[in-house]
Chain A
Amino acid sequence: MHRGVDAPRTPAVGGSAAAEQAPAKPPDTGAHLQQRFDALIADDERIEPRDWMPTGYRKTLIRQIAQHAHSEIIGMQPEGNWITRAPSLRRKAILIAKVQDEAGHGLYLYSAAETLGVDREDLLDLLHEGKQKYSSIFNYPTLSWADMGAIGWLVDGAAIMNQVPLCRCSYGPYGRAMVRVCKEESFHQRQGFDILHTLSHGTPAQQAMAQDAVDRFWWPSLMMFGPPDERSAHTAQSTAWGIKRLGNDELRQRFVDICVPQARALDITLPDPDLRWNENRGHYDFGAVDWAELTRVIKGDGPCNEQRIQRRRSAHEEGAWVREAADAYARKHHNSSAAEALA
């Protein structure tokens, strides 16, 4: 069934440039509005769509929520790649359901973004033109069935780590969307772990497949938390605004700490010779992440960047006549029912 979206909608006000014209912002009373906003943030209260908010806050949220929504939609592709080839009917059903969930997440998030005065069509255009980004993890190819396991375990696992704190995000519609999303992500993570567990306890070929998938996805998963805090352009301001609750490095560390024992349970080796328990820190130490690779992939030079955007664009372009037909039909039938009402 179509999944509903819980984020309240406000009428879309055209292009993303309209985001600058905060609908509820009367320019003359700026100081006291700012005070009220600051007080809400200080009290850990939620900002709602009709509340006044600083332009920078609105812009940051639009960028972040759009990027998050795009990640859900682009993220359907690496896994969608295996729907027709899943090795059992049960796995096929689980995979279809998961990819369908990701599409639903995209919709909740576009709706949350729309409460800030942009609309989905414009955000999609920005994605298709390469003007808005999505998580760089989805620019890696899925080369074997085991990648469905590695993605569920590591990529959905990292997403949960990032998203649980976002449930407390100061912007109400985003926080509420995250609560729904997180429930489904934990199912995604478990099914990924289960795929890998089955493979790593299967035939030698299956075990090798599982190890290879983790070898390829481990480091890109660590990059999902973003660059180190001292290099992150947005972290400090987002933290002050209650959008971001925990730093990139702290989240990454928590993720590593959770994954190490799970990898052991899977009988899979994490591809990092420097990974070891540090008694003093009470955490696992891990090797240096190749930040140059992250920068390169974000800038477009990853194995699948071109292909992912191309797929999105062609789906959108080839579907244009369908969407136009739906609009034309709705107009005709709206008009004719209005005419009947008048007759």
Chain B
Amino acid sequence: MSASTTAVPAGDLVRTAFAGYLLGLADDSLILAQRLGEWVTRAPQIEEDIALANIALDLLGQARTLLACAGKVEGLGRDEDDLAFLRDEREFRNVQLVEIPNGDFAVTMARQLIFSGYQYELYRALLTSTDPMLAGLAAKAVKEVAYHRDHAVQWVRRLGDGTDESHTRMQTGLDHTWPYVEELFERAPGVAALPRIAADPASLRPAWDSFIGTVIAEATLTIPQPTWRARGGRAGYHTEYLGHLLPEMQYLHRAHPGASW
């Protein structure tokens, strides 16, 4: 799909809001792909090296489409690589959940469950976006994400209802990641300016809650009640972890300004 099929809304405010919205979606996928890429050669079994690499590839593909499109909407001539490699920490719009370190396999699976559950509802909602690029991307991505979600569900069940050790680790993984849940469903400021184009994150919450509730119960786990919550990722306010992820991702590209690869 080509970014040029995007129905760019008229007016600078809307344009800025739309570019920001696309960047938020793109950065979520890009940063999580980067984290999952760290797992490759370190997974508990070879099948998981393959599965995690595969999920990273899907997310990276979504990010590339979204970044290219955000660049077009923004109209400053930035392409996917300019946006991925040349923005600083404060310019990234992803939620904090995707930037936290991988932790053990349980933390990664907790994050996968939360995030793929969210992305699944998001892309389903975007199927009816009036923006052809977003609707087209959603049609492809919703299938990919259904697989990501299923992968996470299976592992959360196995780990929750496996051994005592895996149960404890899985519950700890949920406890560790749950403070980052609220942020996913918060209405970003620009979304109100994009009716029928964007999906209102708050509207995704009920379906997510009911799906996740069932999985957690089946896995003999408990939904955590965190005492704090993350906020600010969509406005460029991040965890300290992102400032370590980005230099690793960006250094080579930045070390050779203007080079092609």
Contacts and interface: CB of A to CB of B under 8 A. Distances in A.
Interface stretch (B117-125, B163-171, B186-194, B204-212): B163-171
Contact of A319 (B44, B50, B67): B44
B42 A311 contact: yes
A211 B258 CA distance: 20
A135 B169 CA distance: 37
Interface size class of A (residues with CB under 8 A): 35 or more
A202 B259 contact: yes
Interface string B221-261: 00000000000000000000000000011011100101111
A88 B258 CA distance: 12
Contacts of A324: 162-163, 165-166
A87 B252 contact: yes
A91, A100, A104, A316: residue with the most chain B Cβ atoms closer than 10 Å: A100
A195 B157 CA distance: 42
A96 B166 contact: no
A202 B260 contact: yes
Interface in A306-329: 311, 314-316, 318-329
Given A93-B60, A311-B41, A85 B249 contact: yes
A80 interface: yes
B252 A93 contact: no
Contacts of A327: 162
Contacts of B259: 87, 202-203, 205-206
A70 B99 CA distance: 32
A104 B50 contact: yes
Interface stretch (B7-15, B32-40, B88-96): B32-40
Contacts of A83: 37-38, 40
A85 B37 CA distance: 10
Interface stretch (B16-24, B51-59, B69-77, B176-184): B51-59
Contact of A198 (B51, B159, B163, B261): B261
Given A84-B248, A332-B161, A319 B40 contact: no
Contacts of B40: 76, 80, 83, 96, 99-100
A2 B253 contact: no
Secondary structure of the A side of the interface? helix
Given A88-B81, A319-B43, A323-B45, A3 B50 contact: yes
Contact of A96 (B57, B85, B248): B57
A325 B53 contact: no
Nearest to A327: B162
Nearest to B166: A325
A103 B44 contact: no
Q: Which residue of B46, B54, B64, B260 has the most chain A CB atoms within 10 A of its CB atom?
A: B46
B80 interface: yes
B56 to A, nearest CB: 6
Nearest to B61: A93
A187 B34 CA distance: 24
Nearest to B44: A319
B185 interface: no
Nearest to A195: B261
A91 B84 CA distance: 13
A76 B41 contact: yes
Interface in B138-176: 147, 157-159, 161-163, 165-166, 169
Contacts of B37: 83-84, 92, 96
Contacts of B63: 89
A87 to B, nearest CB: 4
Given A1-B54, A206-B256, A311-B42, A325 B60 contact: no
A180 to B, nearest CB: 15
B84 A89 contact: yes
Contacts of A96: 37, 40, 53, 56-57, 60
Contact of B50 (A2, A77, A88, A93): A2
A143 interface: no
Contacts of B57: 93, 96-97, 100
Interface string A1-44: 11100000000000000000000000000000000000000000
Nearest to B84: A89
A89 B46 contact: no
Contact of B162 (A73, A84, A93, A329): A329
B49 to A, nearest CB: 5
A206 B45 CA distance: 36
Given A92-B37, A202-B260, 16 more contacts: A83-B37, A84-B38, A85-B248, A85-B252, A86-B252, A87-B253, A89-B64, A89-B67, A93-B60, A100-B57, A107-B50, A206-B256, A320-B44, A321-B165, A327-B162, A329-B158
5 contacts: A2-B47, A99-B40, A202-B261, A319-B44, A322-B159
Interface of B: 30, 34, 37-38, 40-51, 53-54, 56-57, 60-61, 63-64, 67, 80-81, 84-85, 104-105, 147, 157-159, 161-163, 165-166, 169, 248-249, 251-253, 256, 258-261
